[in-house]
Structure 1
C-alpha cells in the first residue's frame, strides 16, 4: 500500500514502533483466549489458581500497547500533516511560476486543505490492522494446537476471505479515485462561488447555470462515485462476515460428520473464531478510510511531481545580490510562448528592450498584447524561452537615446541564468493587477520600519482606516483602490532598485491617479529607481521618459497620439477632486 510505503520512508522509527505495539496488542488480545478456555474448562482451578493473574496481565498488555500505538500514530499524523504541507508549500515556492499556474489553484488547494487531512486521519487505523493481523495469526496457531484439521479449514476460509475482499476493494478503489478527480472540479466551483459572489447575486441566470446546474452536476458525480466506492467496500466487509458465518456453520454441522473431532475442540474453535469477529469488524471499518488515504496520497504525490519535475529555482545565496550598482536591464531577443489548456499559443517576442535606473518606462498596448507577460519576464518570474536578459551596464555620455533601441548604455553586465535568477528577482518590487495583499510587515527592512509605514499610511490617506498593531495592519477589508494603496505602501517599504506597476491606477479615483502619475513616479525617478508602468491612462503618458507599445506580442512604433502634448491644466483628469 502506498501509505505504508510513504510512512516507512518518511518516519520509519515512529511508524515501526507503533506497528510493533499494535502487533503486541494483537498477540496479547488473542493469547488471553487460552486462560478464558482454561477457566471455562475448570472453574475450580480458575478460582484458586494463577489463571486469573495471566488473564489480568494479558488484558493490561493488550490495552496499554494498543493505547501506546494509537498515541504514536496521533503524533505521527500531525507530523505527516506538517511535512506534507511544508513540502507542498516549498514545492510551490521553488517551482517556476508557469508550472504553478499550469497546475492550477483549485488542485493545489485541494491537496493542501483536504488530501493531507485525509491521509492523517487514516493513520490511527494502521495499528488496528496490525493488531488484527497478529490476532488472526495467534488464532491460527491456537487452532493448530486444538485441532490441525480445524486450523486448516479456518486458514482456507481466511485465504478465501482475503481474496474476496481484495477483489471488491480493487473495484471500489476505482470509484473512490474517480470521486477524488471530481473533487478538484468541485474546488474550482467553490472558488467561483466565493470569488464571484457579487456577480452571481446580480445575475440569477448565471448563478443558476454555474453555481446551480454545473456545481450540482459535479457534486452529484462526486457523490455517486463516493457512494458506489464505499458501498463496494461495505459489500466486501459483508462478504468477509458471510465467510466467517459459513466457517462457523461448517465447524458446527459439516466437519463433525467428516472427521472424528472431539466436541470440546469444536466448541473451543468456534469460541475463538466468534471472538475474532469483533476484531475483524473493526479492521473492515478502517479499510475504506485507508483506501481513500492511499488515493489522497497519490494525488499529493502527483501534484508534487508536476511541480518538482518542472525544475527547482535556486534561492539567492546572499541577502544582497552582488550585481553592483547596476544601471540597466537589457532584454535581447527575449521570447516567451504561452500555451493554453486547449493547445492555443501566444508568442511574445522576440523583443529588444532596455530598462534603466532613474527612468520611468511606460508599456502600453491593447488587452492580450502581452504586457503582463513582459512584466513577468522583466522581473524574472518567467525565464525567457529564447534570448537573454543582462543586468549591469555602464553609462556612456554623448550617445543619443533613440527610444526603444536606445544606445546610451553599453551592453556590459551579467547575463541572468537559472543560478542567479532568484537573486535577480530581489531587485524588484511589484504590484500586479492580480496582486495579493499581505496583512503584515514581516520580511521588510527593519530600519525605521514603523515610522516609514505610518508616514505612507498618512500620505496615501489610509491612516483614518488602517493602523499598525504588532507589525500587522488593523484592517485589509477595504475597497480595491484602498487595498492597492496598501500594496503600494508595502512596495515602497521594500525599497528595491526597480519597481513594476501593472495597471495600479486602474481602480483609483482621479485624485490618486494624478498623485500616482505626477508625484509618486517622479519621486521614484528622483531616487534613481528603475520604474516600469503598465498603463491605459493615455492622459498621463507624458509622465513617461520612454514609452513602448506592444501589439500582439511585438514592440511597435508608438502612433502620434501617444506622444502628443499633455492635456492642459483645465482638463478634469488633471484636477484634484
Structure 2
C-alpha cells in the first residue's frame, strides 16, 4: 500500500498549484531580484578589486564599472519590488474572490460541517500570511543571488578557503534541516489553536448578553478558553521560532569559527594578506543575505501551512454545480404547475458533525407538495423537520432516492434553477439590508405595505432599495425577513417556526390572514409549526418522528380534528 504524502509535501504541492497562474510575473520579479543581487555582487567585487590593488584596469574603468553595477542593482531592485507587489496584491485579491466563490458554490452540509470560525481563520489569517510571503519573494531572490554571487567570487578569489566555507555552510544547512521539522510541527499546532481561538472570539461577541448574566460561564470562557488558548499559541509560536533561532545561532557560531580558522592561517602562506582580507570582508558581508534567507524560513513555512489549509478548504468545498454565479439573464426559473415530490429519499449525517447529529438518518421519505396549497410539517424537536425542509429546498442532496419537480428529477444541471422557486425564512436565517437582489418599484411598494401590516412602520424605513436598519428584536427581524420573502415573488414560500418568536397578535395574523392571503395569490406554502391550534389552516399536514413521516393528513381530516379540539 502506498504511503500518503507527508503533510508538508502536500502543503508545498498546494502552494505550487495556487501560485501557478502567477508564475510568469513572479518569475520576472524573481529574475529582476536575482539581477539586482548579482549586480550587488559585482559592485562588491569591484570595490574588493580596487581596495586590494588587483585590478589591471585603470581607476576610470573601475569607477565606470562601479557606477554601472550600482545603477543596475537599483533599477533591478525597483523592478523586482514593483513586480512582487503587483503579484502579491493580485494573489491576495484573487484568493479572496476565489475563496468567496468556492464558499458560494460549497454544498451546504459541507459548509455547515466546516464551521464559521474555521472559515474566518482561513479568510483572514491564512490569506494575510500568504500576503506576507508574497511580499518577501523579491528580497529573498536578491538575497539568494547575492549569496550565490559572493560564493562564486570567493571561489575565484581563494579556492581552498572557499571549500572550507562550503563545508561550513553545508554543516549549517544540516543543522537548519534538523530544526525545521520541529518548527513546522509547532506552527501546525499553533494554527489549529488559532481556529479554537476564533471560535472563542465568536462566542465572546455573539454571546455578550449571556456572558454578562452568567459569571461562571464568563470566567470559564475567558480563563479556560481565550486566555489559555492565547497563551498556548504564544508558547507554541515562541518554541517554533526558537528552534529557528537556535539553528541560526548554531550557523553563526560555525560561520565565525570558520573565519577564526582562516585568520589563524594567515601566516601559513595559503593566501596573501590582501586576498585573505578581501575574502573575510566578503564573508562578513554575505552573512547578511544568508541570515535574511534563514530568517524568512518561518514565514515560508507558515505560508506553506496556509496554502495547505486553503487547498483543504477547496477540496472540501468541491461542488458539481459550477454555474451559481451565472448572470440572471442566462438563467431560467422552471415553471411549477404540479407538485414537488420526494421519492424514497434519505439523508444521513456523517460522523464528523459538530452539532451532535452524528449518524442521524432521515427517511426514506415519500411525499408530494401540491402547488398552491399550505403544507404543515410537524413533529418533536430533532425529528428531522428542518433536514427535510433543506432537502426540499435543494440545499441538501438526498443520498438515496430522488427530488422531483412535476415528475422530473432535480439534478446538478438544474438544481440552482429549481432553488429559484423558493423564498424562505429558516430558523437560522440571515437578514440582508437590501429588499431583494434588484428590487422594482412594485416590490418596494409591496414591501412598504407589508411593513405597515406587520407593525414595523416607524421602526424600519425603505431607503435606496434597502431597509434602514436590521437592528431589531428577534420577532421584528423575523417579520422583516417575512417581508423580504414575500416581495421576491417566488412561487414557493418556506417558513421554519416563523411564529415561534411572535406575540399572540402577530402569530394569529400569520396563520389566519397572511398564509391564506398568500395561498389565494397562488403561492405554495411549506410551514414548520408547533402551533396545534392553527393546524386546521393547512391543506396537508406531515407529522414526523425519528426522521420518518409517520402520518399524512389532508384538509378534511385536519379541519375535523380542529373542530373536535
Whether these two folds match at TM > 0.5 is yes
Partners of 2:252 and 2:436 in 1: CA distance: 58
Picking from 311, 322, 334, the partner of 1:301 is 311
Distance 1:137 1:558, change over 3 A: closer
Distance 1:116 1:566, change over 3 A: farther
Name the residue aligned to 2:103. 92
| Shift of residue 46, structure 1, vs aligned partner | 11
Instruction: Indicate yes or no: 2:434 matched with 1:440.
Output: yes
Picking from 369, 383, 386, the partner of 1:355 is 369
Picking from 76, 82, 105, the partner of 1:65 is 76
- Partners of 2:371 and 2:524 within 8 A in 1: yes
| Shift of residue 65, structure 1, vs aligned partner | 1.8
Partners of 1:247 and 1:316 in 2: CA distance: 62
Name the residue aligned to 1:74. 85
Instruction: Indicate yes or no: 2:293 matched with 1:261.
Output: no
Where do residues 189-200 of structure 1 align in structure 2 (5 Å cutoff)?
189-200=200-211
Q: How many residues align?
A: 546
Instruction: Indicate yes or no: 2:118 matched with 1:107.
Output: yes
| Shift of residue 293, structure 1, vs aligned partner | 0.9
| Shift of residue 166, structure 1, vs aligned partner | 2.1
Picking from 509, 524, 537, the partner of 1:543 is 537
Partners of 2:334 and 2:436 in 1: CA distance: 25
Any runs of at least 4 consecutive aligned residues in structure 1 with deviations exceeding 6 A, and if so which? 43-47, 558-562
Picking from 314, 320, 335, the partner of 2:346 is 335
Partners of 1:245 and 1:72 in 2: CA distance: 36
Partners of 2:234 and 2:167 in 1: CA distance: 37
| Shift of residue 48, structure 1, vs aligned partner | 5.8
Distance 1:44 1:30, change over 3 A: closer
Partners of 2:411 and 2:55 in 1: CA distance: 87
Where do residues 95-174 of structure 1 align in structure 2 (5 Å cutoff)?
95-174=106-185
What residue ranges of structure 2 are gaps of 5+ in the alignment?
Answer: 1-11
Instruction: Indicate yes or no: 2:511 matched with 1:497.
Output: no
Name the residue aligned to 1:422. 416
- Partners of 1:46 and 1:52 within 8 A in 2: no
Distance 1:561 1:498, change over 3 A: closer
Partners of 2:486 and 2:246 in 1: CA distance: 63
Partners of 2:117 and 2:163 in 1: CA distance: 53
Deviation string 1:471-501 (CA, Å, 9 cap, x unpaired) is: 3322111111111122111111211111110
Q: TM-score, normalised by structure 2?
A: 0.90
- Partners of 1:539 and 1:567 within 8 A in 2: no
Distance 1:45 1:313, change over 3 A: closer
SS state of the match for residue 378, structure 2?
strand
| Shift of residue 164, structure 1, vs aligned partner | 1.9
Partners of 2:135 and 2:401 in 1: CA distance: 54
Distance 1:221 1:561, change over 3 A: farther
Picking from 9, 24, 36, the partner of 2:35 is 24
Partners of 1:200 and 1:46 in 2: CA distance: 79
| Shift of residue 455, structure 1, vs aligned partner | 2.8
- Aligned-residue CA RMSD (Å): 2.7
SS state of the match for residue 564, structure 1?
helix
Q: TM-score, normalised by structure 1?
A: 0.88
Name the residue aligned to 2:391. 377
Name the residue aligned to 2:194. 183
Partners of 1:90 and 1:453 in 2: CA distance: 30
SS state of the match for residue 261, structure 1?
coil
Instruction: Indicate yes or no: 2:473 matched with 1:476.
Output: no
What residue ranges of structure 1 are gaps of 5+ in the alignment?
Answer: 393-412, 569-577
Instruction: Indicate yes or no: 2:562 matched with 1:565.
Output: yes
| Shift of residue 45, structure 1, vs aligned partner | 11
| Shift of residue 185, structure 1, vs aligned partner | 1.4
SS state of the match for residue 438, structure 1?
coil
Name the residue aligned to 1:289. 299
Where do residues 519-534 of structure 1 align in structure 2 (5 Å cutoff)?
519-534=513-528
Deviation string 1:384-418 (CA, Å, 9 cap, x unpaired) is: 122222212xxxxxxxxxxxxxxxxxxxx312222
| Shift of residue 218, structure 1, vs aligned partner | 2.5
- Partners of 2:14 and 2:311 within 8 A in 1: no
